[in-house]
Amino acid sequence: MTATGSSAVDEPFGDDQLKVAVDAFEAATSVTVLCHVQPDADTIGSGLALGLALERRGIAVQVSFAEPDRLPASMRDLPGTDLLVPADEVARAVDLIVTVDCGSTGRLGSLADRLDGADTVLVIDHHRSNTRFGTVNVIDVKAESTTAVLARIFDLWDTEIDRDIAHCLYAGLVTDTGSFRWVRPGTHVLAERLLATGIDGGAIARTLLDNHPFGWLPMLSTVLGSAQLVADAHGGDGLVYAVVRRADVEGLGSEEIESIIDIVRTATEAEVAAVFKETEASTRHEWAVSLRSKNAVDVSTVATGLGGGGHRFAAGYTASGPIEDLVASLCAALG
Ligand code: 5GP
Ligand code: MN
């Protein structure tokens, strides 16, 4: 089938492009919603909001992600978590699979094999690097979050955004905008509308973003203490990076590890920030890398060139090898 509904990067994103999602929902009687591996609040908020909306229409729905095997603690009180099923219980054949916030099939992990068992694959996303792997693609690269894309789809579908759905949508909006740092006209209008349902925006943000066990503080001390500045990277714009080894984060959760980049990226002397996160025992030298840029560098392009993807100002990839080699490859990719 020919892919439809995708938008070129600079085209305005209109209702006709969102309508293909509504058509797919209305044609389906069984749906699987897939979130990305190492899930964040945007993919889970999107998955649960869509799951709740489908369930209310009497459509059988499962929501899942491949790994890890438990939802990160900060997301466990989102509404709709009863719709989540373990990856090995995800149906092999359904009318419709919807992927939310996934830029490529690799982000589905072991659940990528379910795509072949669906009549239709609908990709809902906002990643610039999205590979448009669906039979139907709704990818608004200007959207603040995937939950913001879903809010527009719900309006077109005449689906009420009630308090529970608003909670899920706000979770993705507040986290993907970096607590409303990266915004555009309309971002606060959506936030206001979600808050008007009666959700507690302060509590949602605190639970998702400002809630770490005490051990986070000494871990930061170790990791930030080893941060390095490469002043001549990208023609003198500068790269700052930190390395997170397994031993540094023993007993801590993904929220603690993912928060590190938000501190590292504040260094004035660097346009680009990187955090190298060891994912396997040190002998295997496997790393997940987070990249952030302030303005001049499109890290989505850099990450895509290194086998990953993401957005203009936030991207990532995985790599293996000694850390010196990874730093050298990154500096070479930055130019
Ligand atoms: P983070 O640094 O928060 O893990 O990721 C930043 C952005 O880059 C997210 O939007 C995420 O989807 C994307 N990203 C991170 N790691 C990878 C990866 O390994 N592959 C791809 N395609 N995208 C990634
Ligand atoms: Mn997102």
Same domain? For 204 and 322 the reply is no
Same domain? For 228 and 200 the reply is no
- Position 220 in a domain: yes
Cβ–ligand 1 contact at 316 (below 6 Å): yes
Same domain? For 184 and 222 the reply is no
CB atoms near residue 318 (< 10 Å):
15
Domain boundary among 158, 178, 209: 209
Same domain? For 184 and 245 the reply is no
Question: Buried (b) or exposed (e) across 255-291, using 16+ Cβ within 10 A?
Answer: bbbbbbbbebbebeebbbbbbbbbbeeeeebebbbbb
Average pLDDT over the chain reads: 95
Same domain? For 179 and 244 the reply is no
Same domain? For 101 and 203 the reply is yes
Asked whether the beta carbons of 211 and 253 are under 8 A apart, the reply is no
Same domain? For 258 and 301 the reply is yes
Model pLDDT for residues 158-204, shown as the tens digit of each residue: 999 999 999 999 999 999 999 999 999 999 999 999 999 999 999 99
This prediction has a pTM of: 0.93
Q: Letter for the amino acid at 232?
A: D
- Position 9 in a domain: no
Domain housing 111: 15-209
Question: What is the phi/psi pair of residue 58, to 5°?
Answer: 80, 20
pLDDT range class, residue 8, cuts 50, 70, 90: very low
Same domain? For 229 and 171 the reply is no
- Position 173 in a domain: yes
**Per-residue pLDDT, 1:** 32
Same domain? For 134 and 263 the reply is no
- Position 106 in a domain: yes
Same domain? For 144 and 262 the reply is no
**Per-residue pLDDT, 285:** 85
Strand partners, 230: 239
- Position 104 in a domain: yes
How far apart (Å, rounded) are the C-alpha atoms in residues 189 and 195? 10
What spacing in Å lies between the alpha carbon of 146 and ligand 2's midpoint?
5
How far apart (Å, rounded) are the C-alpha atoms in residues 96 and 201? 32
Cβ–ligand 1 contact at 314 (below 6 Å): yes
Model pLDDT for residues 255-292, shown as the tens digit of each residue: 999 999 999 999 999 999 999 999 975 567 899 999 99
pLDDT at 72 over 90: yes
User: Measuring from atom 13 of ligand 1, which residue has the nearest CA?
Assistant: 310
Domain boundary among 178, 209, 240: 209
Same domain? For 273 and 169 the reply is no
What spacing in Å lies between the alpha carbon of 130 and ligand 2's midpoint?
11
Model pLDDT for residues 10-24, shown as the tens digit of each residue: 556 889 999 999 999
- Position 3 in a domain: no
Spatial CA neighbour of 258 closest among 101, 90, 42:
42
Q: Which atom of ligand 1 is nearest to the CA of 290?
A: 2
Same domain? For 171 and 109 the reply is yes
Could you give the number of structural domains in the chain? 2
Model pLDDT for residues 114-147, shown as the tens digit of each residue: 999 999 999 999 999 999 999 999 999 999 999 9
What spacing in Å lies between the alpha carbon of 152 and ligand 1's midpoint?
24
User: Measuring from atom 19 of ligand 1, which residue has the nearest CA?
Assistant: 317
3-state helix, strand, coil in the chain (%, to 5): 45, 20, 35
Ligand (nearest to CA of 273): 1
- Position 6 in a domain: no
- Cis peptide, bond prior to residue 86, ω within 30 of zero: no
What's the CATH number where 38 sits?
Answer: 3.90.1640.10
What's the CATH number where 265 sits?
Answer: 3.10.310.30
pLDDT at 157 over 90: yes
How far apart (Å, rounded) are the C-alpha atoms in residues 44 and 76? 10
pLDDT at 3 over 80: no
Cβ–ligand 1 contact at 109 (below 6 Å): no
- Position 251 in a domain: yes
CB atoms near residue 223 (< 10 Å):
21
Model pLDDT for residues 31-40, shown as the tens digit of each residue: 999 999 999 9
Domain boundary among 209, 241, 263: 209
How far apart (Å, rounded) are the C-alpha atoms in residues 10 and 16? 16
